[in-house]
Structure 1
Amino acid sequence: MKKNMKFLSVALVGLIMASCSGETKTSEAETNEVESKKPVTCMYSYSSENTELNFTAYKFLGKTGVGGTFTNVIVKGEESQNAQEVIESLSFKIPISSISTKDEGRDAKIEEHFFGTINTSEITGEVVGLDSLTNTMQLKITMNEVSNDITAKYTLKDGVFTIDAEIDVNDWNGNPGIVALNEVCKELHTDVANGDTESKLWPDVSISFSTELKEKCD
């Protein structure tokens, strides 16, 4: 009888242990399953580390490009789960003193004779809106105390944003600056080798901008 009771007790303990063990495994599995179903939330924000702004101005009658950049571009923007909303919130300020064409003498002349003539120490602007159907955007740019909206082409893919635009500085009453800069660079703006007999500095400027948004997911 004692043997039977001992056997029954061992069996009962084993059953309880097996039952508890099974419940623990099921609970862990259910927890993992619930956690795996939690939605992933990603927030996007502007990244100054991955930003680049370049421009191309044009000289000579044959319209030869001269490239440059601004090494200091101050951009503000909001954080959002939607990358497009981040772009639409952007505003910027560009100090003219940060201009760089890889020629310090030329940089000084541009700053003094072009921007100095039109009394512009910084260029400011903001994104007005995006049209995802046409991949175009509206930008408001202010310099020489004049604000104009321009239309630019843009791309936004996997958090990488680019802009390509063409402007005419005459739209910002910039012709006096063009005349002043062309006067001090007359020889440099005359392509004698290709038959030019006059100097030429065009008011057209091509602009390209790129940035990669920061992405943080929880």
Structure 2
Amino acid sequence: MKNILTITALFLLISCSEENKNENSKSVKTEAAANLTSDYTYSLGDVTVKWTAFKHSARAQVGGEFKSAEVLGFKESNNLNTSISGVSFKIPVSSTSTNDKVRDYKVVNSFFKTMVSTEFITGKIISIDENGEGKLSINMNGNEVEKVFKWDMDQTTKEIYIKTSIDVLNWEAKSSLDALNEVCLEQHTGPDGKNVLWPNVDITVIADL
């Protein structure tokens, strides 16, 4: 799993779910970043990317996944910054999966395929620091946007948790968001009768190092 990594759930999927897809998060003991260099040699294993999107006025949570992505540029090292900085990813939007084929079709065709150059979502890790923060870039809809992320390391399993939140409007994707909302009108209408699909998506990347 060093080159082509299966990625469970990544950036910017917006579900048309009839029901909330609340996922039970794995409880782990994490420690704040202290030192990027250690006696341990970091080696890239499994990568999981989870996301949470929101619908209805009450911001009901929904989720999904990408089944695959290509990750390049990871360097085995005892310095986390050396290992991760510069890593790039390439995610085929056709690998969208929400455990509902009809919903997957809507996400791919009404959201991604109404954008510019959306066969893949691409990006890279720009930097990571000792204070539990870092910066990454995401390319989508013909726009590159940089985002700050937070990170923690599970010192027992050597899993790194990278967390950020995005707003798809920053990628000028309002028309795509509206198109998806239109085909999922019933599912995105809450108990108050209002049709709402939020542009915000929370993302957690878990990488086994």
Fold similarity call, TM over 0.5: yes
- Quick one: distance in 1 between partners of 2:52 and 2:41? 34
- Quick one: distance in 2 between partners of 1:189 and 1:212? 35
The equivalent position to 1:54 in structure 2, one of 43, 50, 64, is 50
Q: Displacement of 1:166 after TM fit?
A: 0.4
2:145 is the counterpart of 1:171: no
- Quick one: distance in 2 between partners of 1:71 and 1:136? 27
Instruction: Give the TM-score normalised by structure 1.
Output: 0.72
Matches within 5 A, 1:189-200: 189-191=188-190, 194-196=191-193, 198-200=194-196
Residue 71 (structure 1) aligns with: 67
Q: Does the aligned pair in 1 maintain the 2:152–2:161 contact within 8 Å? A: yes
- Quick one: distance in 1 between partners of 2:180 and 2:86? 35
User: 1:79-131 deviations in whole A, cap 9, x for unaligned?
Assistant: 22323321223211111111111111111100000001113121111111112
RMSD: 1.5
Report the count of equivalent residues.
Answer: 167
- Quick one: distance in 1 between partners of 2:127 and 2:81? 10
Residue 22 (structure 1) aligns with: none
- Quick one: distance in 2 between partners of 1:136 and 1:54? 18
- Quick one: distance in 1 between partners of 2:42 and 2:163? 22
Same amino acid, percent of matched pairs: 36
Q: Displacement of 1:43 after TM fit?
A: 3.6
Moved over 6 A (4+): none
- Quick one: distance in 2 between partners of 1:156 and 1:75? 20
Q: Does the aligned pair in 1 maintain the 2:81–2:127 contact within 8 Å? A: no
> Structure 2: 5+ residue runs without aligned partners?
1-38
Instruction: Give the TM-score normalised by structure 2.
Output: 0.75
Matches within 5 A, 1:7-156: 43-47=41-45, 50-76=46-72, 77-119=74-116, 120-133=118-131, 135-156=132-153
Query: More helix by proportion, 1 or 2?
Result: 1
Residue 8 (structure 2) aligns with: none
- Quick one: distance in 2 between partners of 1:56 and 1:121? 22
Q: Does the aligned pair in 2 maintain the 1:78–1:89 contact within 8 Å? A: no
